[in-house]
Amino acid sequence: MARQNEPTLVTSTDSRAVVMRRFRLRTSVLIVLFLQTIAALNREAHAQPPPPSQSDIQAVYLFDFAKFVRWPAGAEHEPLTICVAAPKTFADSVTKLISGEQIESRPLAIRAIQNAGDKAGCAILFIDVSAKEHLDTLLAATAGKPVLTVSDIPGFLDRGGMIQFLLLNNRVRFSVDLRPVEHSGLSLSSELLKVAVSVSGKQNGGQTP
């Protein structure tokens, strides 16, 4: 496991788009952490309305992950579909979040899946802990394909997943394994990797994040 903690310097070759993406990621992560802090305060004060749920926070993260993935050439002409093997309540949370949104001119879509045969067209696949009995089948069906796999199932990275949600001090965070990412043809932004709890493996091209 290897990580770099040094801040990234913006050079004269950085495009405005790259700078804005970095700014949006930092802002998004701060928003997620802020929402979770408010949730904790609301629980203590018994405030209303109810605080955002863990599913709401995970939905925000999925939306953010989509912004910081480099997809294979040609993908920019297709909708960016987030597939979820999860209860309807989670799919509803993601649907509300991405409704009408686009990422680099790609319209976002949400689709619930039941089995590995439904994964065609998925750009991101979230596998909820409730679908853990289908985990190995879903991972086998997406292995080597440009599909970002995400889950909150314990041990997800050890079984071949890419991003695993963690609950640390009542806050949702995530860890990354770059080995299946490299084999998929995807590439993750270094800015995304810097806010991960841990990163295993190496980025495409042999660079350690």
Task: Please state the domain extents for the chain.
Answer: 16-200
The confidence band for 12, taking pLDDT boundaries of 50, 70 and 90, is: very low
User: Which of the 8 DSSP states describes residue 71?
Assistant: P
For the entire predicted model, the pTM comes to 0.74
At residue 184 the predicted structure's pLDDT band, cuts being 50, 70 and 90, is: very high
Q: How confident is the model at residue 128 (pLDDT cuts 50, 70, 90)?
A: very high
Question: Is 165 a residue whose pLDDT tops 60?
Answer: yes
pLDDT at 195 over 80: yes
Q: Can you give the pLDDT at residue 207?
A: 46
Burial of 125-149, coded b for 16+ CB within 10 Å and e otherwise, reads bbbbeebbebbeebbebbeebbbbb
pLDDT at res. 5: 44
Residue (of 74, 173, 90) closest to 125 by Cα position? 90
What does the block give as tokens for 40?
A: 């904790």
pLDDT score recorded for residue 37: 57
Three-class SS state of 90? helix
Helices (H), 68-206: 88-98, 135-142, 178-184, 190-194
Structure tokens given for 39:
């949730």
CATH class of 16-200: alpha beta
What confidence score (pLDDT) does residue 40 get?
57
pLDDT of 153 over the 90 cut? yes
- How far CA 92 is from CA of 59, 76, 97, 112, in Å, comes to 9, 25, 9, 10
For the chain, give the mean pLDDT: 80
- What are the CA-CA distances from residue 163 to residues 51, 65, 157, 197 (Å)? 25, 10, 7, 11
